[in-house]
């Protein structure tokens, strides 16, 4: 099992990294953004396995993005590794502060509370005109351990970086999902009471899932900010969080790679509907979402599971 | 499990790559990417009229000979203009992505776009990275070129400081007594910056005026009952607002119902674009600007540019059955500027289609005539335009059944815009040094 997983991770990395050679510039950027957002969605999927959905992952996405931007602008740090680590650390701390509180809630209460937290951040950032208010801030292109690439090289470096993080995070999350605590999460989804009677702490498990989601959100936000070169409070707005939830629903909670596939599909559909139907791209996107929800209620991941005929 | 997912990813990649190859624009076409709001809050008041105007102009140029000289030549230097339209709704993240798609996938020769200030701040670094010639046609924030400098990015409209300096000057030149004033502005960067600009200008021109209250209702609030009550209670002599779109319409309808316009003078920084919707519900006697000599003020101006302005005005009225407000004017000045730059670059390079570098070199410091007046790329090393402005007073003409702008004052570009190398806020704080007013 472990051996297969490592092999799969290596294969995934090689295949995705090959994208840096075959993909045209615009597609490489689109894939990098999709994968960065996919990281945030992976956090939501982790919570979804326990039967809760966070409508506020924009909080960590935004927090990560702003942490990186403010540190980069105020302290002149441009190293992507350092910025990612710092953002992840900040999100870890914030996640640890809110995790225990939110882990008491389920269903709509969990969704709304997490949403409320992200909207508090949105509101606060919008008011802070000294860091750009609603217009946001720019962040310079990152360096990679002192190397400062430009043009296609920069895009390639960013892309490989996000691919590496996606593969590592995906593998770790798969290991976590299959671990004892990960399986308890799955059991909680079916019957919380029984899990408690068996002696496991549901609250504890939920907190872990939330904190992992926070860190993944922060990393996703940092990479997105560095790729875009701009952050604004919209990162924490509910529509951004809603998009993450949509990707998570599109992917389903059964498979890790499907999260990233779903994120890429959504970006592609959006980009092309925007180009071909500039006046009605939201309609095109909406119809696509509707079709997916009707045809695949358990997400893309269920396609694979159904064929293999066994549970995770 | 993982492998079949990889298969899925590969399929998606293949799909994307296949769809990635649209025909590269030939040498006899000049392809522009146009980004403007086609949905959401800013669509009805800015995005849609702007592109209605743009589409009209592109058609007229492609036909050739429809416009007075020097714009009577077909297309851009004889090249047919082809436009790819993108909706600006969806936030800066989406815009950066779409910008890359336009430049790298659609291979446009120039990008003209952006109403939202957030988008205008996000795009320039990417434009420089991709070496893509880009014109910002509408957004107002001075920060674009005051906080940064770019090689391939130009803004063909004046930034927002001009609007509020003109308003303050209008009050002064009409000897309007302002013992006190208050503000009602949308609670986001645009509203806060506009209020800061207005108070900054008023501090210089009316140092004794007392600021009664500064209200910042939420963007898109729609309901202003509480704010109107507060304004009625505070009794300021003047109420300043930079609201726009549905927010401005809502505020005006609710304020006039309660007689606010009779107790205080209303001064609107960007108010002209709600006239077609409000018609006679727009009260008389409002001081308003159109962020440039645009709309009604341009039509009333006459002078040397009358033929150009009237040609565009009449064509727009015939096509869309309403008069052009500020947004199409700004689109026109961007496209006329682009045409001038393309033709200048072609005159320099022997008549071939100009590259981004050649376009940028031609655009730097350029000046040209537009229906809104003489546009000069005079700030930020030739990348930021200044333009003349106008403020007028609304008056309903019952016989004609249309709104008129009376007592219009025109301000020279160098009177209401900061000089080169000076930040707007410093210029206001120091009392407009270098301003050249007649």
| A 27-56 → B contacts, CB under 8 A | 27, 29-31, 33
Task: Say whether A24 and B20 touch across the interface (CB within 8 A).
Answer: yes
In a domain, B16, yes or no: no
Which residue among B16, B106, B126 places its CB closest to the CB of A229?
Answer: B126
CB atoms within 10 A of CB B262: 10
CB B44 within 8 A of CB B121: no
Residue B8 lies in a domain: no
Residue A304: predicted pLDDT: 73
> What is residue B17's predicted lDDT score, i.e. its pLDDT?
45
- Write out the H or E segment, with its range, that includes residue A265: helix A257-276
Same domain for B276 and B215?
yes
> Does some domain include residue B380?
yes
CA distance B127 to B134: 7
Q: What is the structure's pLDDT at A292?
A: 84
pLDDT band at B81 (very low <50, low <70, confident <90, very high): very high
**B2, B16, B143 member nearest A27 (Cβ):** B16
- Which among A154, A261, A268 has the least Cβ separation from residue B16? A268
Q: Strands across the sheet with B367-370, in order? A: B80-87, B29-36, B110-113, B134-136, B153-155, B384-386, B373-379, B367-370
Q: Which of A237, A265, A304 sits opposite B1 (nearest CB)?
A: A304
The confidence score (pLDDT) of residue A306 equals 59
Cβ of A126 within 8 Å of Cβ of B12? The answer is no
Residues B72 and B115 both lie in one domain: yes
pLDDT of residue B335: 96
Size of interface A-B (CB pairs under 8 A): 165
Length of chain B: 438
How does strand B210-215 pair with strand B238-241? unpaired
Closest Cβ–Cβ partner in A25, A274, A308 for B1:
A308
Same domain, B320 and B288: no
Q: Where are the beta strands (DSSP E) in B109-209?
A: 110-113, 134-136, 153-155, 180-184
Task: Give CA separation, A2 vs A7, A43, A178, A305, B2, in Å.
Answer: 9, 22, 10, 19, 13
Q: What is the sign, positive or negative, of the torsion defined by CA atoms of B314, B318, B323, B324?
A: negative
B437 domain residue, yes or no: no
Cα angle B12, A178, A303 (rounded to 5 degrees) comes to 35
Are A235 and B93 a contacting pair at CB < 8 A?
yes
Contact A78/B at CB under 8 A: no
Which of B117, B25, B27, B30 has the alpha carbon at shortest distance from B338? B30
Same structural domain, B276 and B343: no
Q: Which segments of B279-355 does DSSP mark as H helices, in order? A: 295-301, 306-320, 326-349
For residue B254, count other CB atoms closer than 10 A to its CB: 16
pLDDT over 90 (residue B376): yes
Upper half-sphere CA count for residue B103 (Cβ side, 13 Å): 23
The burial of A66, by beta-carbon neighbours within 10 Å (0-12 exposed, 13-18 middle, 19 or more buried), is given as buried
- pLDDT reported for residue A273: 86
Using the beta-carbon criterion (under 8 Å), do B141 and A135 form an inter-chain contact?
yes
CB A224 within 8 A of CB A65: yes
Contacts of B3 in chain A (CB under 8 A): 8, 11
Which chain B residue's Cα is nearest to A273?
Answer: B86
- pLDDT bucket at B284, cuts 50 / 70 / 90: very high
* Same domain flag for B396 and B307: no
- Which chain A positions have a beta carbon within 8 Å of B96's beta carbon? 228-230
A268 touches chain B (CB under 8 A): yes
Distance CA(B424)–CA(B385), nearest Å, equals 14
Judge whether residue B20 has pLDDT over 50. no
In a domain? residue B18: no
Q: Are residues B173 and B133 in the same domain?
A: no
pLDDT for the residue B18: 44
Q: How far is Cα A234 from Cα A225, in angstroms, rounded to an integer?
A: 12
Cis peptide before B310 (omega within 30 of 0): no
- The CA-CA-CA angle for residues B89, B90, B95, to 5°, reads 90
Residue A308's pLDDT is what?
Answer: 57
**A253 in contact with chain B, both atoms CB, cutoff 8 A:** no
The closest CB to that of A11, out of B6, B84, B101, belongs to B6
The pairing of strands B367-370 and B373-379 is antiparallel
B274 and B415 within one domain:
yes
Mutation target vs A (from B7, B13, B18, B99; most A CBs, 10 A cutoff)? B13
Which runs of E-coded beta strand occur in B88-138?
110-113, 134-136
Which residues in chain B touch residue A149, judged by CB atoms under 8 angstroms apart? none
Q: Quick one: B189 exposed, middle or buried, by C-beta within 10 A (0-12, 13-18, 19+)?
A: buried
Which DSSP category does A144 fall into?
B
- Give the gap in angstroms from C-alpha B191 to the nearest C-alpha of chain A: 10
d(CA B166, CA B292): 10
Which residues in chain A have Cβ-Cβ distances shorter than 8 Å to B122? Answer: 136, 138, 228-230, 232
* Cα four-point dihedral sign B31, B36, B39, B43: negative
Global ipTM: 0.86
| Residue of chain A with shortest Cα separation from B20 | A24
User: Which residues on chain A are in Cβ contact (under 8 Å) with B97?
Assistant: 29-30, 33, 267, 271
User: Would you say B59 and B296 are in contact if contact means Cβ atoms under 8 Å apart?
Assistant: no
Give the Cα separation of A202 and B66 in Å (integer).
Answer: 74
In this structure, the strands spanning B134-136 and B110-113 are: parallel
A30 contacts B101? CB cut-off 8 A: yes
Question: Domain for residue B3, yes or no?
Answer: no
Range of the domain at B253: 161-294+388-430
**The pLDDT of residue A288:** 86
Give the C-alpha separation, A9 to A163, whole Å. 11
| Rg of chain B in Å (alpha carbons) | 22
Q: Choosing among A25, A267, A275, which should be mutated to test the B contact, i.e. which has the most B CBs within 10 A? A: A275
Measured distance CA(B343)–CA(B337) in Å, rounded: 10
Question: Do residues B282 and B401 share a domain?
Answer: yes
Q: Of B100, B156, B159, give the one whose Cα is nearest residue B335.
A: B156
Residues A33, B17: C-beta atoms closer than 8 Å: no
A243 touches B at CB < 8 Å: no
Return d(Cα A184, Cα B291) in angstroms, integer. 61
Residues of A with Cβ-Cβ distance to B2 under 8 angstroms: 5, 8-9, 11-12, 256-257
Residue B11 lies in a domain: no
A282 touches chain B (CB under 8 A): yes
More confident: B93 or B217:
B217
* Whether residue B223 sits in one domain with residue B245: yes
Mean pLDDT (chain B, rounded): 90
Say whether both B290 and B312 belong to one domain. no
Query: Hey, are the CB atoms on B93 and A234 less than 8 Å from each other?
Result: yes
- What CATH number is attached to the domain comprising B253? 3.40.50.2300
Q: Give the whole-angstrom CA distance, residue B385 versus residue A275.
A: 30
Give me the residues of A, 124-163, that contact B with CB < 8 A.
126-127, 129, 132-138, 140-141, 150-151, 154
Q: Are residues B372 and B402 in the same domain?
A: no
Asked whether the beta carbons of residue B16 and residue A267 sit closer than 8 angstroms, the reply is no
Worst-scoring range by mean pLDDT, B42-46, B162-166, B406-410? Answer: B42-46
Distance from C-alpha of B86 to C-alpha of A276, rounded to nearest angstrom: 9
Q: Same domain for B136 and B91?
A: yes
Count of the separate structural domains present in chain B: 2
A15 touches chain B (CB under 8 A): yes
At what angle are helices A257-276 and A238-251 packed, to 10 degrees?
A: 120
What is the residue-level pLDDT of chain A in tens, covering all 312 positions?
Answer: 678 888 999 999 999 999 889 999 889 999 999 999 999 999 999 999 999 999 999 999 999 999 999 999 999 899 999 999 999 999 999 999 999 999 989 889 999 999 999 999 999 999 888 888 888 899 999 999 989 898 889 999 999 999 999 999 999 999 999 999 999 999 998 888 999 998 889 999 999 999 999 999 999 999 999 999 999 999 999 989 999 999 998 888 888 999 999 999 999 988 888 888 888 888 888 888 888 888 888 888 777 765 555 444
């Amino acid at each position: 099992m472990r051996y297969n997983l490592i092999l799969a991770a290596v294969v995934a990395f090689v295949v995705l990294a090959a994208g840096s050679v075959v993909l045209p510039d615009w597609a490489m950027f689109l894939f990098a953004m999709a994968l960065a957002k996919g990281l945030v969605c992976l956090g939501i999927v982790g919570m979804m396995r326990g039967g809760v959905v966070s409508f506020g992952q924009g909080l960590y996405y935004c927090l990560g993005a702003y942490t990186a931007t403010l540190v980069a602008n105020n302290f002149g740090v441009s190293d992507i590794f350092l910025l990612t680590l710092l953002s992840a650390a900040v999100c870890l701390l914030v996640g640890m502060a809110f995790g225990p509180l939110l882990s008491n809630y389920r269903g709509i209460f969990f969704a709304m509370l997490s949403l409320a937290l992200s909207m508090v951040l949105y509101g606060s950032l919008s008011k802070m005109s000294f860091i750009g208010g609603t217009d946001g801030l720019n962040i310079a292109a990152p360096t990679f351990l002192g190397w400062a690439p430009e043009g296609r090289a920069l895009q390639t470096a960013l892309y490989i970086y996000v691919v590496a993080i996606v593969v590592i995070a995906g593998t770790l999350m798969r290991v976590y999902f299959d671990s004892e605590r990960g399986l308890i999460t799955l059991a909680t989804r079916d019957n919380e009471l029984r899990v408690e009677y068996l002696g496991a702490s549901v609250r504890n498990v939920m907190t872990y899932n939330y904190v992992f989601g926070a860190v993944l959100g922060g990393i996703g936000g940092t990479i997105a900010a560095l790729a875009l070169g701009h952050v604004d409070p919209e990162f924490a707005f509910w529509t951004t969080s809603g998009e993450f939830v949509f990707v998570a629903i599109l992917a389903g909670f059964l498979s890790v790679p499907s999260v990233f596939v779903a994120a890429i599909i959504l970006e592609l559909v959006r980009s092309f509907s925007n180009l071909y139907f500039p006046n009605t791209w939201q309609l095109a996107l909406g119809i696509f979402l509707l079709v997916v929800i009707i045809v695949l209620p358990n997400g893309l991941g269920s396609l694979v599971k159904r064929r293999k005929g066994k549970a995770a | 499990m993982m492998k079949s997912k990889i298969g899925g990813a590969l399929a998606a990649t293949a799909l994307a790559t296949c769809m990635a190859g649209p025909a590269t624009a030939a040498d006899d076409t000049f392809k522009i990417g146009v980004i403007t709001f086609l949905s959401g809050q800013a669509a009805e008041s800015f995005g849609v009229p702007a592109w209605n105007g743009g589409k009209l102009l592109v058609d007229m140029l492609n036909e050739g000979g429809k416009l007075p000289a020097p714009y009577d030549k077909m297309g851009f230097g004889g090249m047919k203009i082809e436009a790819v339209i993108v909706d600006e709704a969806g936030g800066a993240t989406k815009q950066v992505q779409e910008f890359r798609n336009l430049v790298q996938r659609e291979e446009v020769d120039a990008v003209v776009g952006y109403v939202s200030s957030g988008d205008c701040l996000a795009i320039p670094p990417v434009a420089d990275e991709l070496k893509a010639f880009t014109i910002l046609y509408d957004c107002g924030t001075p920060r674009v070129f005051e906080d940064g400098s770019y090689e391939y990015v130009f803004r063909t409209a004046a930034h927002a400081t001009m609007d509020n300096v003109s308003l303050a000057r209008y009050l002064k030149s009409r000897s309007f007594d302002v013992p006190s004033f208050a503000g009602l502005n949308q609670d986001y960067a645009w509203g806060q910056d506009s209020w800061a600009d207005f108070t900054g200008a008023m501090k210089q021109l009316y140092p004794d005026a007392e600021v009664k209250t500064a209200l910042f209702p939420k963007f898109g609030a729609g309901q202003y009952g509480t704010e109107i009550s507060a304004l009625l209670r505070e009794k300021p002599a003047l109420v300043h607002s930079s609201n726009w779109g549905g927010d401005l319409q809502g505020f005006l309808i609710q304020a006039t119902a309660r007689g606010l316009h009779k107790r205080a003078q209303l001064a609107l920084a960007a108010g002209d674009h709600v006239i077609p919707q409000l018609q006679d519900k727009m009260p008389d006697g409002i001081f308003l600007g159109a962020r440039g000599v645009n709309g009604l003020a341009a039509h009333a101006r006459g002078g040397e540019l009358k033929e150009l302005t009237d040609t565009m005005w009449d064509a727009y009225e015939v096509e869309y059955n309403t008069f052009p407000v500020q947004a199409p004017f700004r689109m026109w000045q961007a496209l006329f500027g682009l045409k001038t730059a393309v033709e200048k670059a072609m005159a320099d390079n022997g008549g071939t289609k100009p590259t981004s570098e050649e376009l940028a070199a031609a655009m730097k410091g350029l000046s040209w005539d537009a229906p809104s007046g003489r546009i000069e790329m005079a700030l930020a090393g030739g990348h930021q335009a200044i333009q003349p402005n106008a403020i007028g007073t609304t008056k309903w003409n019952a016989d004609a059944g249309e709104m008129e702008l009376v007592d219009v004052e025109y301000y020279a570009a160098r009177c209401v815009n900061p000089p080169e190398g000076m930040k707007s806020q410093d210029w206001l704080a120091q009392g407009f040094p270098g301003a050249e007013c007649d």
